[in-house]
Amino acid sequence: MPSSPFLNGAAYVRGRFVPIAEAAIPVTDWGFTRSDVVYDVVHVWKGGFFRLDDHLDRFEASMRKRRIHPPEDRAAIAGILHRCVALSGLADAFVAMVATRGRPRVFGSRRPADCDNYLIAYAVPWIDVVPKDMQARGAHMWIGATPRVPDHAVDPTVKNYQWSDLTSNLLEAHDEGFDTAVTCDAAGFVTEGPGFNVFVVKDGAVKTPDRGSLGGITRRTALEVCAHLGLPAAIAPVTRAELEDADEVFITSTAGGVMPVSRVMTRILGNDRPGPVYEKVRATYWQWHEDPRFRTAVKPLAEEA
């Protein structure tokens, strides 16, 4: 669609589909002023959503916990996501669904119930949290100095835009010449990174942190892949020392899938390249994208009209 206004992405905001460049929210929206918003992202690969129902489940759970209720129901949200992708013409896409508190009907009100909640959705070209060239050699990971916000303060299982701790550590990582960062909690246990879950491999066994982390759909898939491959895997405490002493480290995200880490701080893992457990998990993960259990074909515009 070379002449389409949606070439760089399509968005839905308050009942209208617009080119991504025209998508906007009011500066008084509490989603902007207070980060009073929940969201989810799902990717499209070769014209099909991967685990769309699981992402919708998590999005609905996040909205319930934060008492945000846009007018669109689940079926309508799914239809909007399909249409955003179809309008964009993208075969591979990063697709977001966002529910924001909105702005209060009564100016100056501090009552969340006075706000009109609404839905935003958009589809843009594919995103990798670790660029492809870095994936080829394995990401270089920094362990940040800023501790994770406690789980009892901000529930990490509700996908939210509170990224202050994660961003602080990412800035630190880039200052030190590293590709990305992971955040530990105040007790020294590994949590997650900016937009990804973390896995460590030691003596053939796989672990991913049990705290301070979003219950990632890609993390879930990686654990299911491990079970399928007969690899022992668990959600369990992971200390900083375990991260630094791991045989392998890899990360998972909707934005990129399963991605390798070849360095943690000054330590080089393996031969400074992606490891064998990662390679097995990654291969099966992408094979499953063709599996009808997980794939939902994007509906063409004719079906969405």
Task: Give per-residue pLDDT as tens, 124-138.
Answer: 999 999 999 999 999
What was the pLDDT predicted at 305?
Answer: 46
Q: What is the pLDDT of residues 126-171, one digit of tens each?
A: 999 999 999 999 999 999 999 999 999 999 999 999 999 999 999 9
Q: For 46-61, what is the mean pLDDT? A: 98
CA 28 – CA 238 distance, rounded (Å): 40
Ranges of each domain in the chain? 10-127, 132-290
Give the CB-side neighbour count of residue 219, counting CA atoms within 13 A. 21
The pLDDT tens digits for 61-120 are: 999 999 999 999 999 999 999 999 999 999 999 999 999 999 999 988 999 999 999 999
Instruction: Output the average pLDDT for the chain.
Output: 96
Query: Is the model's pLDDT at 293 over the cut of 50?
Result: yes
pLDDT tens, residue by residue, 12-24: 999 999 999 999 9
Q: Determine contact, residues 174/154, Cβ cutoff 8 Å.
A: no
Where do we find the tokens 């405490």? 237
- Domain 10-127 and domain 132-290 have a common topology: no
Q: Which pLDDT belongs to residue 58? A: 98
Strands (E), 67-221: 93-100, 118-125, 139-143, 180-182, 197-202, 205-208
Provide the CATH number for the domain formed by 132-290 in this structure: 3.20.10.10
Q: pLDDT (tens digit, 9 = 90+) per residue, 231-287? A: 999 999 999 999 999 999 999 999 999 999 999 999 999 999 999 999 999 999 999
| R_g over Cα of the chain | 20
What pLDDT sits at residue 229?
98
Class of domain 10-127: alpha beta
Whole-number pLDDT of residue 3: 75
